[in-house]
Amino acid sequence: MAERATTTSETPTEPAAGGRGVPAAALVGLVAASLLVAAAFAVPPLFDWQVWARSERAQAALGHLPPVHGVWQPGLGVGTIPALLIAVAGVVWGPRLAARVSWSGLLAGAYAVALAWLFALALVDGESGLTRKLGADDEYLPTARSVDDVGAFLTGFVDRIPQGSEGQWPTHVAGHPPGATLFFVVLDRIGLGGDLAAAVVVVALAATLPLAVLVTLRALDAEGAARTVAPFLVLTPAAVYLGVSGDAVIAVVVAWGLACLALGARAGRAPSRRWLPLLAWSALAGVLLGNGVFLSYGMPLIGLVAVAVLVVARSWRPLPVAVVAALGVTGAYALGGFAWWEAYPVLVERYWDGLASDRPMTYWWWGNLAALLVSAGLAVGAGVGAWAARVGGALRVRTAGGPDARALLWLGGAGLACVVGADVSGMSKAEVERIWLPFVPWLTLTLALLPARWRTPALALQVTAALVVQHLLYTSW
C-alpha cells in the first residue's frame, strides 16, 4: 500500500523558528533581487559600459544583452502552447498534487512534468533550440566525435589548454576537466553522438534533477519540505538552460551524488545500522561526486552542500567511504594521464589570457548574481530573504525547528555559500546562468521557507520568468 502523503499543513514553513519576520524579509529579498536584475541590464547601456558579456565578434554580429549571454530576439514557436499549458497547470494543480500523491507518484509525476517542461521550452526555438549549442564548434560534442584514443586524449589534455597552443582546445573543452568531454565521447561511441540524439539524452538526464533533490530531502527525514518545494524544482526557470546545455549533466551528476550521500547517512544511523547499504550508497556518492570534480573545476564547492547533508543527517559515517571512492576516481584519471592539480593552474592562465581579462569585476561581482537570478528566478530572492529571517530566528532560539526546517536551512545556506565562493573566486565572470546550474536546485529550496500564502504567487512568478526569458531572448545556450 502506498504511503500516506504528507499534507501541506505539515510542512516546515509554518512553525519554523523566526517566522514572524519572514514576510517582511521575503518582500525585501524580492525587491532587492528585482532591483539588482534591473540594474544589471540597465547600467551597461545607460553608461556605455563595455562589460564583455559576449565576444567582440558575437557582439558585432548579434549585439548583446548583459548580464546574460544572449540577445533580444522575441519569438513564438512550436513549444509555446505546450509550455503555457504546463505552466498554468503546474501553478493551479502542482502544489496540491505534490502534497497528496504517494511518494512514488510524486517522483514519477515530477519526472514526467520536468521532461515536458524542458522539451516545451527548448522547442520554442524549434529543433535548433535543442541542438544549436550542443553542436556548436566551441562545445564538447564536436570535439568528442574527433577523439579516437581516450588515453592520448587524457595524456595530451593539459598541453592543449593554453591559448595559442598547438591544437588548442575549444573554449568549453579547455574550460572544463576532460570528464565533460568524455561523457559525450561515450555517447558518440554508443551511437548517440548526433546533435539531436545527444540533446535528447541531456534533456532526459536533466529531468532527473528534481528527483535527486527530492530523494535527498526524504532521506534526511524532510519529506514535507520535499513536497512543498517539488513544484518549484520541476518548473524552474533554469529549465531554459538545463535543456540545451552540457552543464545540465554536471548538475545531475553532483545532485545524485548528494542524494546517495544522504541515503548512505540514513542507512548508517543507529540503532538500525545497515552496513551494506551504508557502504554501497557512500561509495556511489564518492564516485559521483568525484566525477563531478572532473566535469567542472568549480565542483569542489559542492562539497559545502555535502557537508550540509551530513550535518542534517547527524551522521559522518558515509564520509570515509565516500572520500576513498572519490580519491579512487582521482587516481583513475591520474593513471590515465590527467592530473586535476596540474591542469587547473594552466586553465587559470588561459582564462585570464582570454575574454575574462576584459570583463570588469566591478560589474561582474554583482552582475553575476543578476544573471543567476535570470536562471534561478526572481522568487529565489524572496526565498533567500525568508531563509535569512529563519536563520536569524533559529540562532536566537538555538534551534532550526524540525527536520524539514533543518534541512532547508542547512542545504539552502550551503547553496548560497557555493554561489558566494564561486563569485569571489573571480573565475566565474559572466555566463553563470549556465555555469552555476549545479547550485540552483539548492538555492531553490529556500522557496519552501516562504509563508504558505506566498507559494502560489511565487510559483507563478517562476514560470512567468521562464516563459519571458525563453520567448524574448536568444539565450545562446
Q: Is the pLDDT of residue 57 over 70?
A: no
Averaged pLDDT for residues 195-204 = 97
With 0-12 CB in 10 A as exposed, 13-18 as middle and 19+ as buried, what is 45?
exposed
- Residue 183: per-residue pLDDT: 98
Q: Is the pLDDT of residue 16 over 50?
A: no
DSSP string, 188-204: HHTT--SHHHHHHHHHH
Better-scored residue on pLDDT, 59 or 236: 236
Spatial separation of the C-alpha atoms in residues 350 and 334, rounded to whole Å: 22
Spatial separation of the C-alpha atoms in residues 118 and 116, rounded to whole Å: 6
Q: DSSP letter at 355?
A: G
Which residue from 203, 226, 5 is spatially nearest to 112, judged by alpha carbons?
203
- Residue 458: per-residue pLDDT: 98
With 0-12 CB in 10 A as exposed, 13-18 as middle and 19+ as buried, what is 61?
exposed
Q: What is the average pLDDT score of the chain?
A: 92
Spatial separation of the C-alpha atoms in residues 244 and 353, rounded to whole Å: 28
Rounded to two decimals, what is the model's pTM? Answer: 0.94
Of all residues in the chain, what percent carry a pLDDT higher than 70? 92
Nine-digit cell at 425? 573566486
Q: Under a CB-based contact definition with an 8 Å cutoff, are residues 469 and 374 in contact?
A: yes
Q: Under a CB-based contact definition with an 8 Å cutoff, are residues 99 and 7 in contact?
A: yes
- Residue 355: per-residue pLDDT: 82
Neighbouring residues of 302: CB distance < 8 A, sequence distance ≥ 6? 254, 257, 258, 289, 292, 418, 438, 439
Nine-digit cell at 104? 512514488
Of all residues in the chain, what percent carry a pLDDT higher than 90? 82
Q: Is the pLDDT of residue 2 over 70?
A: no
- Residue 9: per-residue pLDDT: 37
- Residue 273: per-residue pLDDT: 63
3-class secondary-structure state, position 399: coil
Residue type, 46: L
Spatial separation of the C-alpha atoms in residues 302 and 252, rounded to whole Å: 12
Q: Under a CB-based contact definition with an 8 Å cutoff, are residues 124 and 470 in contact?
A: yes
Q: DSSP letter at 21?
A: G
- Strand 473-474 relative to strand 71-72: parallel, antiparallel, unpaired? antiparallel
- Residue 396: per-residue pLDDT: 60
Spatial separation of the C-alpha atoms in residues 347 and 355, rounded to whole Å: 13
In angstroms, how far is the first alpha carbon of the chain from the final one? 44
Could you tell me the pLDDT band of residue 8, with boundaries at 50, 70 and 90? very low
In the block, cell 562545445 appears at: 139
Q: Under a CB-based contact definition with an 8 Å cutoff, are residues 41 and 91 in contact?
A: no
- Residue 398: per-residue pLDDT: 54
Chain centroid to Cα 392, Å, comes to 26
Spatial separation of the C-alpha atoms in residues 183 and 250, rounded to whole Å: 10
Spatial separation of the C-alpha atoms in residues 50 and 288, rounded to whole Å: 40
Q: Is the pLDDT of residue 274 over 90?
A: no
- Residue 268: per-residue pLDDT: 80
Spatial separation of the C-alpha atoms in residues 129 and 120, rounded to whole Å: 10
Q: What is the pLDDT of residues 210-252, one digit of tens each?
A: 999 999 999 999 999 999 999 999 999 999 999 888 899 999 9
Q: Is the pLDDT of residue 3 over 50?
A: no
Chain centroid to Cα 121, Å, comes to 17
Q: What is the pLDDT of residues 339-367, one digit of tens each?
A: 999 999 999 999 998 888 889 999 999 99
Spatial separation of the C-alpha atoms in residues 351 and 422, rounded to whole Å: 15
Chain centroid to Cα 333, Å, comes to 25
Spatial separation of the C-alpha atoms in residues 263 and 329, rounded to whole Å: 20
Could you tell me the pLDDT band of residue 112, with boundaries at 50, 70 and 90? very high
- Residue 31: per-residue pLDDT: 98
Better-scored residue on pLDDT, 166 or 61: 166
Counted residue by residue, the chain has a size of: 477
Spatial separation of the C-alpha atoms in residues 47 and 29, rounded to whole Å: 26
Q: What is the pLDDT of residues 380-422, one digit of tens each?
A: 999 999 999 999 877 665 555 688 999 999 999 999 999 999 9
Nine-digit cell at 55? 565576444
Could you tell me the pLDDT band of residue 12, with boundaries at 50, 70 and 90? very low
Q: What is the pLDDT of residues 292-341, one digit of tens each?
A: 999 999 999 999 999 999 999 999 999 999 999 999 999 999 999 999 99
Q: What is the pLDDT of residues 163-178, one digit of tens each?
A: 999 999 999 999 999 9
Spatial separation of the C-alpha atoms in residues 157 and 174, rounded to whole Å: 8
Residue type, 10: E
DSSP string, 103-150: HHHHHHHHHHHHHHHHHHHHGGG-THHHHTTTTSTTSHHHHHHT---H
